[in-house]
């Protein structure tokens, strides 16, 4: 780096820190005068099997969701990343959070004041090698468990904060550990940097306001449409993870949002510390459907908000408007909404982001400690999950059972004559299919129609031998093309039962060329030369 460039960056950060410091001082004075009372509530013990846990996140929450999913992959069966990046993206720049500018330039790429640097193969090799090494050292769960995860990735082409190559890097990272048919990437909607919520688009989410699809800012919760229908990101991800489900309208929710104290879960060196010491809020939130309140067996989904989306900033907008509760209500899913919070200089986190660049680590720790099982925020949130399950299912790393679905081997005669298969989602080059488990099936076969040797259409097998999932991502397809699928279940004696004989699915149009940018210091969209720009790609 040149001396001129170094001087510029030093000057930029000196003024940025002064600005942030002033804003924090004002915020702190306001908090002193009007801070809400701390919650004394503790998390309830519920009938939850942690091996059916899934996670999701937007922005810094997406980084955090991936960190949780890798660290606890023996338990977490699915991860949804909206506008986030890959595991250990910050790399060596994460050493104590001292090189945040380097991490932002590589793992966000949208602020012209910090010219983007690419995520290279060298960086990907570092991410892969660290994952393998930390698993071998027992710092995260075994890498074999990653092969059983389902991975859902979303990126809107008007996102100028976290650029397209960063979300693409999530897919590249998981390609090293997870079969391609378990990775879905949605990337052709005109969304900006936001949680995309169908609950928000309905306008009936307990007063939660949302933004237009291509808008950046506000509460960072946007409404988008796909082929004229409100796009449901939460529904796409949760059904990918758990199978086809029914959704309850926002106005018919019967569960309740429960506040709880995060303080008993925030530890440093085994000693309880105030949540603020690790940039977390005093209070977190839990959505509990009525059947789960009454003791029925339920599953857990952990939803991480993004920067500037914590409750102290936008109230209950993310908790009530992100779109998860409507699916949780009818399907016995408890939703945990842990809360980060803004903090001053130790740790330095003025926007209330989750720790994806190591701001909670100390100088004597190895780079990346924050995203292992011992990372302060990762550990705190997992303790919350354990508390909900009564600590009953935590048996230690390497002693957990696989988190894949159990398929009955009762015999082919138990397979029903028909079972509905759904095309849950499409992108311009992928189709996401899902169905509910079939009693007596030992495997499933997915066929796609394509031209045969003589030019006549034939159904060719696209799923691998012994495929036992109840969801399949078909990749490498053409944009705006129709595809015909046939899906069958195999009994233990090899007999086939047709689940779908001729399911037609049409892929989406390819996204337009788009190159948005966003100035974090100024808080507004800009062009590549850092000039204000209010245009969006259609």
Beta bridge partners of 421: 435
d(CA 468, CA 460): 18
CA atoms within 13 A on the CB side of 252: 9
Quick one: pLDDT at residue 38? 53
**Closest alpha carbon to 159 in 79, 56, 84:** 84
Q: Report yes or no: 259 and 280 within 8 Å, Cβ to Cβ.
A: no
pLDDT of the chain, 538 residues: tens digit per residue? 443 333 333 343 333 433 333 333 333 323 323 333 455 699 999 999 999 999 999 999 999 999 999 999 999 999 999 999 999 999 988 776 678 899 999 999 999 999 999 999 999 999 999 999 999 999 999 999 999 999 999 999 999 999 999 999 999 999 999 999 999 999 999 999 999 999 986 555 556 888 999 999 999 999 999 988 999 999 999 999 999 999 999 888 999 899 999 999 999 989 999 999 999 999 999 999 999 999 999 999 999 999 999 999 999 999 999 999 999 998 999 999 999 999 977 898 999 999 999 999 987 788 899 999 999 999 999 999 999 999 644 433 333 343 443 333 233 334 444 458 999 999 999 999 999 998 889 999 999 998 878 888 999 999 999 999 999 999 999 999 999 999 999 998 878 899 999 999 999 999 999 999 999 888 899 999 999 988 889 8
Paired with 459 in beta bridges are 449
The reported pLDDT for the residue numbered 96 is 66
pLDDT attached to residue 40:
63
Distance CA(168)–CA(86), nearest Å, equals 9
| pLDDT tens, position by position, 114-168 | 999 999 999 999 999 999 999 999 999 999 999 999 999 999 999 999 999 999 9
Q: How far is 82 from 496, CA to CA, in rounded Å?
A: 38
Q: What percent of the chain has pLDDT over 70?
A: 85
pLDDT of amino acid 362 = 84
Q: Which two tokens stand for residue 72?
A: 């606890």
Distance set, CA 294 to CA 143, 289, 297, 302 (Å): 36, 9, 9, 20
Residues 14-43 have pLDDT tens digits of 334 333 333 333 333 233 233 334 556 999
At residue 218, the pLDDT reads 92
- Going by the DSSP 8-state scheme, the letter that residue 326 receives in this structure is H
Tokens linked to 105: 């330039």
Average pLDDT over the chain reads 87
Q: Which domains are seen in the chain, by residue range? A: 39-400+517-526 (no CATH), 412-506 (2.60.40.10)
Distances (CA, A) of 87 to 67, 172, 368, 377: 6, 11, 10, 15
Model pLDDT, residue 206:
58
Task: Report the C-alpha gap between 170 and 87 in whole angstroms.
Answer: 8
In angstroms, the CA 86 to CA 171 distance is: 8
């Amino acid at each position: 780096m040149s001396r001129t460039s170094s001087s510029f960056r030093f000057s930029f950060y000196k003024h940025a820190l002064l600005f942030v410091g002033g804003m924090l001082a004002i915020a702190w004075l306001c908090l002193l005068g009007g801070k809400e009372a701390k919650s004394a509530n503790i998390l309830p013990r519920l009938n939850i099997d942690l091996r059916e846990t899934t996670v999701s996140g937007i922005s810094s929450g997406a980084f955090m969701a991936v960190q949780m999913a890798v660290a606890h992959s023996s338990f977490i069966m699915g991860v949804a990343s909206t506008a986030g990046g890959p595991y250990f993206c910050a790399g060596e720049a994460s050493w104590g959070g001292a090189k945040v500018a380097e991490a932002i330039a590589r793992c966000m790429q949208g602020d012209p004041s910090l010219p983007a640097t690419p995520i290279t193969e060298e960086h990907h090799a570092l991410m892969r090698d660290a994952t393998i090494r930390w698993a071998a050292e027992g710092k995260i769960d075994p890498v074999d468990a990653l092969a059983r995860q389902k991975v859902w990735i979303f990126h809107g082409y008007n996102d100028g904060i976290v650029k397209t190559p960063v979300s693409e890097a999530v897919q590249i990272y998981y390609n090293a550990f997870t079969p391609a048919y378990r990775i879905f990437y949605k990337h052709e909607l005109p969304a900006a940097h936001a949680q995309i919520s169908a609950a928000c688009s309905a306008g009936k989410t307990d007063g939660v306001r949302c933004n237009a699809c291509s808008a950046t800012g506000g509460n960072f919760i946007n409404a988008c449409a796909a082929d004229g229908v409100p796009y449901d990101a939460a529904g796409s991800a949760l059904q990918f993870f758990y199978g086809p489900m029914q959704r309850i309208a926002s106005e018919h929710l019967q569960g309740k949002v429960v506040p709880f104290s995060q303080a008993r879960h925030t530890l440093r060196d085994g000693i309880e510390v105030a949540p603020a010491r690790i940039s977390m809020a005093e209070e977190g939130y839990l959505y509990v459907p009525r059947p789960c309140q009454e003791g029925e067996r339920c599953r857990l989904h952990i939803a991480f908000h993004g920067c500037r989306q914590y409750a102290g900033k936008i109230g209950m907008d993310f908790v009530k408007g992100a779109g998860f509760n409507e699916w949780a209500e009818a399907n016995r899913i408890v939703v945990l909404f842990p809360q980060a919070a803004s903090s001053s200089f130790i740790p330095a986190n003025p926007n209330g982001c989750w720790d994806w660049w190591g701001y909670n680590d100390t100088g004597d720790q190895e780079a990346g400690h924050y995203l292992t099982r011992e990372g302060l925020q990762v550990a705190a949130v997992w303790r919350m999950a354990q508390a909900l399950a009564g600590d009953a299912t935590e048996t230690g790393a390497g002693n957990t059972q696989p988190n894949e679905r159990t398929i009955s081997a009762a015999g082919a005669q138990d397979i029903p004559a028909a079972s509905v298969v759904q095309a849950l989602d499409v992108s311009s080059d992928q189709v996401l299919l899902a169905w509910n488990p079939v009693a007596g099936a030992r495997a499933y076969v997915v066929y796609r129609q394509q031209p045969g040797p003589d030019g006549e259409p034939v159904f060719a097998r696209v799923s691998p031998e012994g495929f036992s999932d109840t969801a399949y991502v078909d990749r490498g397809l053409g944009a705006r093309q129709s595809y015909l699928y046939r899906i069958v279940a195999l009994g233990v004696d090899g007999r086939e039962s047709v689940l779908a004989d001729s399911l037609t699915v049409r892929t989406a149009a390819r996204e337009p060329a788009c190159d948005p940018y966003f100035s974090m210091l100024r808080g507004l969209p800009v062009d590549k030369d850092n000039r204000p720009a209010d245009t969006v790609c259609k």
